[in-house]
A and B are shown apart, each in its own frame.
Chain A
Amino acid sequence: MSEEKPTTVWADDDYVAAKNQSFLSRLYTGTGAFDIVGKRKTWYIVSAVIMLICVLSMIFRGFTPGIDFEGGTQVSLPASSSVTTDAVSDVFSTTLGYAPEAVQTAGAGDAATIQLRTESLSDQDANKLSHALADTFKPDITLSDVSSSDVSSTWGAEITRKMVIALIVFLVVVFVYIAIRFDREMSAGALVSLLFDVVATAGVYSLVGWEVTPATVIGLLTILGFSVYDTVVVFDKVEENTRSVFATSRRTFAEQTNLAVNQTLMRSINTTIISVLPIIALMVVAVWMLGVGTLKDLALIQLVGVVVGTYSSVFLASPLLVSMKERRKDVQRHTKKVLARREKMAAQA
C-alpha cells in the first residue's frame, strides 16, 4: 500500500506512518498517517453505495408502520403457561365476534408478554375485552395486569409533521451556527454528512424491518444532534490545524486536514465505543426484559446512528470539506506553491 504513489505528499514525521508499529498502536498513538483525505474518491464511492442500498431499501422494503402510525388498539398482558397467543386470540374472537389482526409474544422469561393488535376498539369493547381476559385467565391475570394502547390513525401523521418541522428548523439553525463558528464550506460539509446519517440510519432501520414507532422518530431526531456534534469535533481540529496553513508552504490544506482527521481518529473511535456500550446495554436489557418497546427501537436507531455518524464525520465530511476548499483560488494557489517548493527541495537533494 505504502509503495503506491500517494495522492497526498507526506513531508515529515506526522505524515509518515510508523511502520514498525502495529495497526492498533498506530491508531492509539495517532501515528497512523492514514491517507483518508487523499483517498477520498474511494470514500465517496463507499458512501454512495451505502446511500444507494439504504434508499433502495426504503423504496422497496419500506417501513413497517407501528400502531402509532396505523391507528388501532394494542392490548398486552403477561404471558404464562395458560396465557398463550392462541388462548388470547380465542378470548378476543368469542368476546367481540371477529378475529384480532395479530397476536404475538414479546420478550422472554418472566417478562414475556402477549401483544394483541386490532383496529381501534371503542371504550366499551376494550373494557369488555379486558374483563373477558381477566375472567378467563384467573388467577394468572387480574384486570390491572392488562395494558392497552389506543391510537388514532392521524396521530402518526401529526408526529411526522412535527418532526419534519423540527428537522427543517434544526438544519437552518445548525447551518447558521457552523457557518458563524467555522465557515460556509464546513457548514455545507456538516449538513451533507448529517443527511447521509439520517438516510443511512433510516435505511438500516428499514432493512431490519422493525416497526416504526414514535420512539424511532425520537431516535432519528437525536441522531441529528449526535451527527453534528461529531462532525463539529473533527472540524474543530481541522480548523485548528489549517488556521495558519497559508502562512507557510510546508503543507497543503488537504494534508493538514488529513492530519487533523488522524489526530482525532482515536477520539472518534473511543467516543463511538463509549457511546455504543451503554446503548448496547440498553438494547440487550430492553429486549431481554421487555421485548418489543420504546427502549429497543430507540437503542437500535441510536446504535446505527452513532456508528454512521462517526463514519460520516471522518470519511465523508472531512474529505468533502477538502474537495470544496480545493475549488477555491487561494487554496489552489497555495497547494501549487507547496508542491513547487517540495520539487525544488527534492531536486536540491
Chain B
Amino acid sequence: MSAAVEGEVRVFAEYERDFTEEADVVVVGSGPCGAVVAHELTARGKRVVLLEEGPPFTPQDFELDGALSMTRMMREAGLRTTRGTIIPTMQTIALGGGSLVNSAICVRPPDFVFEGWEEYAELEGTRRSDLDPHYDAVEAFLGIALTPDELQGQRNLLFRDGCDALGIESEPIARNVRGCRGSGECFTGCRARAKQSMDISYVPAAIKAGARVLTSVQVQEVLSDGRRATGVRGQVVEPFSGRRSHRFRIDAKAVVLAAGCMATPVLLQKSGNLANGSGQVGRNLQFHPGIAVLGIFPEKVDPGFGATQGYQSLAFLREGYKLETLWAPAAILAVRFPGFGHDLKKRLAQVPYAANWDAIATCHRSLGTVRARRGASLDPILTWNFDPEDAQVLGGALYQIARIFFAAGAKTILPGVHGVPDEMHSLEEADVLRTRRYAASDFVTASNHAFCTTRMHGDPAKGVVDPRGRAHEMDGLFLVDTGIFPRCTSVNPMLTGMALAHRSAQAVADEL
C-alpha cells in the first residue's frame, strides 16, 4: 500500500497498515534545512518524500502556557539537559521543526566567521560571498525583512536607546515574518500566522510542487547497500504519546538527513555507525550558551508587546558574544525576582515594568558529544563541558547588558547570577559583573543553538561531510542540518542552515 500520493500530506489518523514508498529522494526532518531541500528538489522535478516525526500544528493546537506548550511541542517535554555542565536544550517535534517555536531571527554571519570555518576545517567554497546567493534566495522566498519600529515595543526600543547612548552599534533584527502584529507569541506558535515557519511556507510550497509529506513517522534506520544509502525505515508514532505502530520503508536514490544536530548523529549511530570512518559522528558538540538579565524601568514597558526579539547588537561578536532583546512569558520574568511571601508578591507588580535582554556566546572551547542510547529510544545522551574561559566571556556580556540597561534608564537590574547581589541599582554596583571570576555553575544558562556533531571538513579523516553536505564515505547520503557546521556561527543559525541546505539541494540533484 502506498501511504501518500504526490502533492499530499499524511497525518497520523490516516495510517492503517505497514507501507513502503519509492522516491528519488527521501528527506528526514521538516525543519528549516529539510524543508528547503524538499522544496528545491521538488521544484527541480525530483520525486521527494519528506518525513517528519511530529504532527502538523494548527492554531487550535497551540497552547499559550509555556510549560504545557513545551510538553506538546518539544522532545522530552522540553526538559532535555546535558551531562557534565548542565545546560537545558530543546528540540521541537512538529512539522516545521524549530521554525514553529523560534523567534524568526534571520542573520547572516559576518565574513570572519566563514574565514574561520575555512581555516579551521580546511574548506573551500564556504566564504560568505559563496553563500550570499543562497541567502538571497531564502530571504526572497520567506520575505525576510528588518523589524519596523512600530512593531518593536518598548522592550526592544529601550535596547536601541541604551546602545545609542553608549555609542554601541545596534540594529533591528531581520525576521521571516509577513504581517507580524507584535503579539510576542513566537515561542508557543504564532496565532497571527505571521511567522513564516516551514509548515506554512516551504512545506506547502513543496507539496504544491508535488512532494509527498508524511507526518508522525519516526525514522529509525538509514538503509544502505555497501557504500550507497538506499533509503530509510521506521515506524508510525502517535502524536504526544510517541506510541509506535505501523512499520514503513522508503526506498530512494538519495537520503537527506535533516533531523537536527542531535538526532542525525544518533540515527547514523543506530544505523551501524554509518558514515563514521572519521570517528567524528556525534563529536564536537557546540552550543551558544545564553544568559538573560532583567531590567526594571520607571515607566511601563509592557513586556508582552512587541516583536519577540526585535533588536540586536553584533558589536561584540569578535569578543565572543552577541547581544539581543528577548521576550519571555510573565512567569519566566517573575522567576528572577528574589524573596518569598508578601515581599515577593509586591515585587511582582514590577513585571509590567521589566525588560529582558540576553547574550549568546561563541564558545569554541566548550565541547560535548551526542551518543545513542541502548535500546529503542532515539533520545540522545548529551555531554557538554563549559570551559572556564568561555564562562568569563559570558560574564563580560553580562556587564555590557548592565551598561546598556542603565544607559537606557533602568533603575534596577536583576542579573540572575550566583554569588552577586540579586539586585543592582547602579553601574557602580554592577561593576562586579565585569571583575568577578565566574564558575560555570554560577550561570543559569540555556541554549537551543547546537552545532558541529557531523561537521564538514575538507579532510575526510577529520569530518563527516564535504562543504555541500555529501557524506565523505557514502554515496547518496547527504546531511544538511546545523550538525554540519564546522564551528558555531556566533549568530542565530537558522538562516545559515537554510542557505547551506539550499546549496546542498543542487548537489543532491546533480548526483541523481
Q: Say whether A associates with B.
A: no
